[in-house]
Structure formats: structure tokens, C-alpha cells
Amino acid sequence: MRTIIEPFRIRCVEPLRLSTRQEREQALRDAHYNMFGLRARDVIIDLLTDSGTGAMSTLQWAALMKGDESYAGSDSYYELRDVVRDLTGYEHVFPVHQGRAAERIIASILAGPGKIIPNNTHFDTTRANIEYTGAKALDLPVARAHEPAADLPFKGNMEVEKLCELLDGAAPGSVPLGLLTITNNSCGGQPVSMSNIRAVSELYRSAGVPFFLDAARFAENAYFIKLEEPGYQDRSLAEIVREMFSLADGCMISAKKDGLVNMGGLLALNDDALAEKVRPLLILTEGFPTYGGLAGRDMEALAQGLREILDENYLQYRLASARYLSSALEGMGIPTVRPCAIHAVYVDARSFLPHIRPELLPGQSLCCELYRVGGIRTVEIGTLMFGGRVGQSGLPTAAALDLVRLTLPRRVYTQSHFDWVSEAFEEVVDRRDSLPGYKIVQEPPFLRAFTAQLEPAEELE
């Protein structure tokens, strides 16, 4: 058979409200042209994020009923602990309310003023949690990671030579933790190869630096290793995942991605002494170590999600969905980040809208237009999110790239939804030269992309 089908059938549906273009124009104005300001009911296809937006399976919904809500020693915790131990091989398993809670706990134990924490690319909450302690979060992606058109496998890798230089030159104790993010979300969702994980692990270990994986998308990363890294085609995904985790000393996981749940996270590790330091901090802000901020039923759903995520038919369908959408866009001459990732399709908005200079936010312009045309919510990953603050000119300084991310929730949308998205792009392609730039008219002191207020540039001129 040629068609890769959704390997599930849908027995519970959530109606979509099909808004009119006029309603969407008003909603956009009310949201100050910020996608985060839109009400979800005004969105037809929501590609804002893959975090916590997936659909649970029948077995996950059934598992909710088994939730043991005991404050201490809940059966649901032990069920989750055993699944995570089996998957990762790590001894100590701590539930947390989401990934950033694990980051905060680890950073507050290991980071601090004067320290440096390297990563292939830090996700923004990881960076913020590290910098909040006074430490420096250092990105060491491979040299060509920021070339959207470079069609190279494992572009999420870390630059091993640079890591080696850093560790060789670092004062003793100044690198208290080493990270590697799989897949590399902030770098176009590109995967990391097993050989890169191994090389990074050897460097961290020979320098005596504890090595943690930021493993929100561990299954998607493992799937790319199986497909593309020589020597892994005949290995099971469970073996590949186990090998990835065996190269590190612990992991932080936002379970809202490959945990297939809407909320939750995990911190897992081997070092007994470090686990002793984690426990009181967990109690301080998350909860007793056998629930860590999650209800018993949530732990049951997560345990079941982790049992389902390594299904190759599911991962094959997920990658096929991303490739289906990305090749439709490429067929219209729309530049996308190559190679196609699995959790999202990234459009290179700066190349697509060359008449809008980066300071006037070409990515945001495309986001607004996709919403106007098709009620599609996407997210700008560019100057609005990462550029400098608005200066005297009234404009921000440009980020390295201006991308629009079309992020695919897990098990939610079908092929016809992606056809709808392609059709919206068809309309935008025809009128792309007339799309306006945008200006930031109000920005908060940090993390501006979430709450900044914008206006089309012409309206201000």
C-alpha cells in the first residue's frame, strides 16, 4: 500500500468552529496581532505548539480511572516509576508538573554564578532557568545548523570540537552540568545522532561533568536514528532509546510531547547523592516525591503514554504527516527548513517575504496572514521571539533567522486538515508581495513573544 494512514480511528470528536474571515480580522485586532492573544475557539487549525496538545488514546483515558490519589506511596507512582526505569534505565524517577520544573530543580542544585552549562541549543525555559541562577547557558550547535536550506542529516548535533575546547580550557568546577537536547527544538527540531550523543558523553564523562539529556522528544529522535544512522535499522526503538539514555547520567523530560499527555514532566537520574538533593527541592515546590505535582490519574495516563510512544506505525505516520505538508509547501516554491523535522514544519519567512526587512517581522506577518486566510494559528520563531529589544528607532534588532513554525499536535489532525493548511498557503503565495510588516507597540521586560502588542507597519506610517 502506498498511503501511510493515521494508525488509529477516531471515536471521540471535538467540533471545530468555522469562523468567518471578518470574525478573524476582528479577533486578530483584539489579540493585538499576537498569536498567543487569540482565543482558542477562534482558531480552526491550531499549529501553535505540539506541547500538551495531543490526543490521548482509549487506554490512556481508561488508565485515568486507576489513579491512586494517595498523598504518599501511590500505586500510580510505582507504575510510572517502573515504566520510566524500563525505558531509560535510570534508578531515581521524580514526577514533576512539566519540563521546566525539572530544569529549575537541576539548575538550582548545579548551576550558579560563574558557571557555564553547554548544550547543543538550549530551549528557552532551560536557558532562563540556568541564567536565573547567574550561570551562563552556552549553545554549541554544529556550524551549519542555522542554514535553513542545508539538507544534512542530524543537523541537531552538538559541535564536538567546540565542546572539547570549552572543557579543556575551563577552570575546575566551572562546568557543573552538561546538556544535550534531543531533538534539538530551538534548532528547527533537528535530530541528534547516536554517534554525537556518544562523543558528547565521552567528553563530559572524561571531564567529570554530569551529563543530562533534555529528552522531551526522545522517541522522535530515536526514530530518526533508526531510519538514518548506519547500524540502527535492525534495532528496536526500545533498544535505541535505552542506548541513548545509557550514555547520559540522567534526563529532564517535558512529558507534554512524547509522554503523550496534556501536562506532566519527569526528572530521572542515577546518582544517589544528587537524588538526595533533588528530593527536598521537589517537596518545596512540586510535591511529595511520589506525586511531584501530578495527580495519580495523570501519572497513570503518562505511564500508558510512554508505553505507546515507541509504536513505529505511529512514528511513521507522524513523520509522513510532516513530510506531506512540507512537500506541498515546497511544491509551491515556499522555502522550508531542510530536512523536514518530525514535530513541525518550519517556513523560512525571511526568504519567503524578502520585501519585509527582519526588523518589521516577516515571520509575524506570515502568521497573521495564515490566520486571516484559514484560521490557522502558527508561531513566529524569529525577531519577535529572539531579536533585541525595541530601540530608539522603534524597531527591534533582527534575530539570526525569521521562521514560522507549523507545529503538529500528536494524533489530532488528519490529511484533510493539512490540505486546508496548504490551500491557505496557496492564497498567501499569490499575494505575498502585498503582505505588510509589523511593529511592536508594547513589549514586556522579557519573554516578549508571549504578550507583546503589535500593529501592521503601514497603520503607523
Ligand X SMILES: Cc1ncc(COP(=O)(O)O)c(C=O)c1O
Are the CB atoms for 370 and 24 separated by under 8 Å?
Answer: no
Q: Toward ligand X, which CB reaches closer, 127 or 432?
A: 127
- Check residue 125 for interaction with ligand X (CB under 6 A): yes
With contacts defined by CB under 6 A, name the span among 63-71, 92-100, 228-236, 452-460 that binds ligand X.
Answer: 92-100
User: Which is nearer to ligand X, 365 or 407 (by Cβ)?
Assistant: 407
The binding track of 229-248 with respect to ligand X, each residue x by CB under 6 A or -, is: --------------------
Among 132, 130, 121, 122, residue whose Cα is nearest residue 156: 121
* DSSP assignment of 183-214: SBGGGTTB---HHHHHHHHHHHHHTT--EEEE
Interacting span for ligand X (CB under 6 A) from 93-101, 195-203, 241-249, 451-459: 93-101
What residues between 246 and 285 interact with ligand X by CB under 6 A?
254, 256, 265
C-alpha 456/C-alpha 238 separation (Å) is 49
159 or 214: CB nearest ligand X: 214
Question: What is the distance, to the nearest Å, from the Cα of residue 59 to the centroid of all Cα atoms in its chain?
Answer: 25
Count Cα neighbours of 32 within 13 Å in the Cβ-side half-sphere: 13
Which candidate, 131, 146, 123, 105, places its Cα nearest to that of 51? 123
220 binds ligand X (CB under 6 A): no
Instruction: Name the segment binding ligand X (CB under 6 A); options: 96-104, 140-148, 309-317, 376-384.
Output: 96-104
Bridge-partner residues for 138, per DSSP? 118
By the rule CB under 6 A, 305 interacts with ligand X: no
Task: Give the residues across from 419 on adjacent strands.
Answer: none
Residue nearest to ligand X (CB): 99
The letter for the amino acid at 411 is R
Site string for ligand X, 196-215 (x = CB under 6 A): ------------------x-
d(CA 146, CA 336): 13
Give the x/- contact pattern for ligand X in 377-416, rule: CB under 6 A: ----------------------------------------
Q: Which is nearer to ligand X, 92 or 100 (CB)?
A: 100
**Backbone φ, ψ for residue 154 (5° rounding):** 55, 45
Cell 516525591 belongs to residue: 289
Q: Say whether residue 88 binds ligand X (CB under 6 A).
A: no
51 binds ligand X (CB under 6 A): yes
Residue 193 in contact with ligand X, rule: CB under 6 A? no
Rg (the chain; Cα; Å):
22
**Residue 100 is a binding residue for ligand X (CB under 6 A):** yes
Site size toward ligand X, by CB under 6 A: 14
Per CB under 6 A, which region of 21-29, 121-129, 242-250, 276-284 contacts ligand X? 121-129
Name the segment binding ligand X (CB under 6 A); options: 98-106, 131-139, 194-202, 269-277: 98-106
Helix, strand, coil percent content, the chain, rounded in steps of 5: 45, 15, 40
Rounded to 5 degrees, what are φ and ψ at 454? -130, 170
| Residues engaged in binding ligand X (CB under 6 A) | 51, 98-100, 123, 125-126, 181, 185, 214, 216, 254, 256, 265
